[in-house]
A and B are shown apart, each in its own frame.
Chain A
């Protein structure tokens, strides 16, 4: 228990079970973990489409961060920004998928390991 107190507030309070009220840090932790998951997917998975989906996951985590900050700063600017991000993400997904389709038509493969013509 003492070791836990060594970790500074507020994480320690969370871990000690004292503070159950959900605060900003909780949302931030969720968002960070989601981002980490998305990153893992991008780097590990070799199917192009799954990689792309993991990318969307990272985008979503950013949205969550923005909205939580917006809430806890009592400000709507964050939410407007998320609005724009969602729009742009939609456009980006469209274009990205068109690219993947074109690539698939050329290379007959959606596997990232087959796309190495930039190799030295």
Chain B
């Protein structure tokens, strides 16, 4: 088996699985699941083989696909540390989630359809990761949007699910609009869409004055996909999908596609664009964390947590530290997927009850779930030596480093990041204390029991990765691809103490934030029967729990305008196009027909007369010449 064939196999096996399931095996649950799980696990194994035998160097394979005039588009595969690492994440985490879904969706009538959609999504996501030019990435970008629409709206009989799917797709489309505009600008000015070509030709210089604009427009695409403010409204609603979907799409992979894309095309962004990106990321992080503080649905809390961490990643990219952003993306994939799957396990055990104030004392009922969830929470909160600490610290260090040249931006973002870290700890431990500790708050808890093995083993695997992920040299890999020339620690001990040596302020601030957040959460929520925050800060709490009324604002402004435009278009279509233009044609034809009909009198002599007249006219002109 040639090494060059492996990436193509990895990419197309899930598509094959999706196709076969859709066409042939919709009724056969076992075969569908086998095909889908087999495709992604094979992908994971092949990725490992690719890395082992091919190494981490950058290389490209491509097939000429389109040639129209001056536009030549290849269908290509770009392999370097960035994409290989992302491949590992997608196939690895994806495999875990596919296996988990076998248990979670076991009783669902749409079982095979679910796996077909999952495989389609895997194919699309791998396409984004492996793309080597803008157009191909955009195509797979849209495909991911479609797959997520199918998966979020999986239980489409529920009106809320269908609405959520629509919302996700439309909000994504808004971002994609900016994205395609950016691509068009790049193509018009630079003439090529291939990443390697653009990077080696120093795209910023080539683009000249429109470089910032192009960069910001491309960032629009990332805003849509990674749910940055103001396009963040779709992510919480997307929790309508089944929990494995939330884990796969909205924790580990799809939302990470935005960040991945930003890192992939990092060479496009001018310093101005990067400033905007970092502020958008920071603001999103803050906004989401504040909203999460007062949510009561376990999946919503995790959703807003995802939003917040995505803000972190985008902020990292904006602070000219894409390797930090990618590092956090990778670790976040591990522990967020873990948290979501753990939440799914809890929901499954509580018979689809999702309100944390109806849980409690699950620690004793579901020990494995509890311990893995705890690991995930600690990782998310950034506790040393778990993976989350290292990745969050990388971003904080980047902010600190950035502050050397830009003190205002740098320190403001640093302070913001630390505050958000504190909030993260606060709301996560609020969740843990209320749901797992304390007394049982409803009768549903009595019947809860640990989930079956097929759901629990992925939890264990992801927990191990969450613990160890910080010190296996992931950041060095990314830095090698994205920002070569830095120095990085080697060896386990060196890596463990590196943050304290290199950027002690950042490391210690992070740990301090954790301590403060833990203390506050313990104060308010240990053994609490009701939410004290709501009682004490009722005004603020109302704002937070209503998501700062963003959805309502959008509804009142954007949706209204959209409806007005739609009504006007309807009027134009009905009256002007159909009534006037078509009516003109219809009436004209009708009248002409009626007029011409009068010639047919049935009288022989009329015909004779017309005949003679015609002959006379023709002869006149013929003889006259």
Contact = CB atoms under 8 A, between A and B. Distances in A.
B605 A112 contact: yes
A44 B612 CA distance: 13
A119 B601 contact: yes
Contact of B600 (A42, A51, A120): A120
Contact of B605 (A46, A117, A118): A46
A118 B602 contact: yes
Interface in A90-120: 112-113, 115-120
Contact of A43 (B597, B602, B612): B612
Interface in A59-76: none
B621 interface: no
A35 to B, nearest CB: 11
Contacts of A116: 601-603
B609 A43 contact: yes
Task: Identify the interface centre among A112, A115, A117: most chain B CB within 10 Å of its CB.
Answer: A112
Contacts, number: 32
Nearest to A46: B605
21 contacts: A39-B612, A43-B605, A43-B608, A43-B609, A43-B612, A44-B605, A46-B605, A51-B604, A112-B604, A113-B603, A115-B602, A116-B601, A116-B602, A118-B600, A118-B602, A119-B602, A120-B597, A120-B598, A120-B600, A120-B601, A120-B602
Interface string B515-549: 00000000000000000000000000000000000
A44 B604 CA distance: 11
Task: Identify the interface centre among B597, B600, B604, B609: most chain A CB within 10 Å of its CB.
Answer: B604
Contacts of B598: 120
A98 to B, nearest CB: 17
Nearest to B612: A39
A46 B608 CA distance: 12
> B interface, how many residues as a size bin?
10 to 19
Given A39-B612, A113-B603, A118-B600, 17 more contacts: A43-B605, A43-B608, A43-B609, A43-B612, A44-B605, A51-B605, A112-B603, A112-B605, A115-B602, A115-B604, A116-B603, A117-B602, A118-B602, A119-B603, A120-B598, A120-B600, A120-B602
B594 to A, nearest CB: 9
Contacts of B602: 115-120
A39 B605 CA distance: 10
A39 B603 CA distance: 16
Contacts of B612: 39, 43
Contacts of B604: 51, 112, 115
Interface string B82-121: 0000000000000000000000000000000000000000
A42 B605 contact: yes
Interface in B596-619: 597-598, 600-605, 608-609, 612
Interface string B11-30: 00000000000000000000
A96 B420 CA distance: 107
Contacts of A39: 612
B600 A119 contact: yes
B80 to A, nearest CB: 79
Interface residues of A, number: 14
Contacts of A51: 604-605
A118 B601 CA distance: 7
Question: Nearest 9 pairs between A and B by C-beta?
Answer: A119-B602, A116-B602, A118-B602, A120-B600, A120-B597, A112-B604, A43-B609, A43-B605, A42-B608
Contacts of A115: 602, 604
Nearest to B604: A112
Interface string B538-574: 0000000000000000000000000000000000000
Nearest to A55: B608
Contacts of A120: 597-598, 600-602
Interface string A26-40: 000000000000010
B607 to A, nearest CB: 9
A78 B124 CA distance: 88
A118 B603 CA distance: 8
A109 to B, nearest CB: 13
A58 to B, nearest CB: 11
A61 to B, nearest CB: 14
Contacts of A112: 603-605
A26 to B, nearest CB: 21
A51 B601 CA distance: 18
A3 B604 CA distance: 42
A110 to B, nearest CB: 12
Contacts of A118: 600, 602
Contacts of B600: 118-120
B228 to A, nearest CB: 71
Contacts of B605: 42-44, 46, 51, 112
Contacts of A117: 602
Nearest to B594: A120
A50 to B, nearest CB: 12
A116 B605 CA distance: 11
Contacts of B609: 43
Contacts of A43: 605, 608-609, 612
Nearest to B600: A120
A118 B602 CA distance: 4
Contacts of A46: 605
B272 to A, nearest CB: 76
A39 B540 CA distance: 103
A115 B602 CA distance: 7
A33 B103 CA distance: 106
A5 to B, nearest CB: 24
Contacts of B597: 120
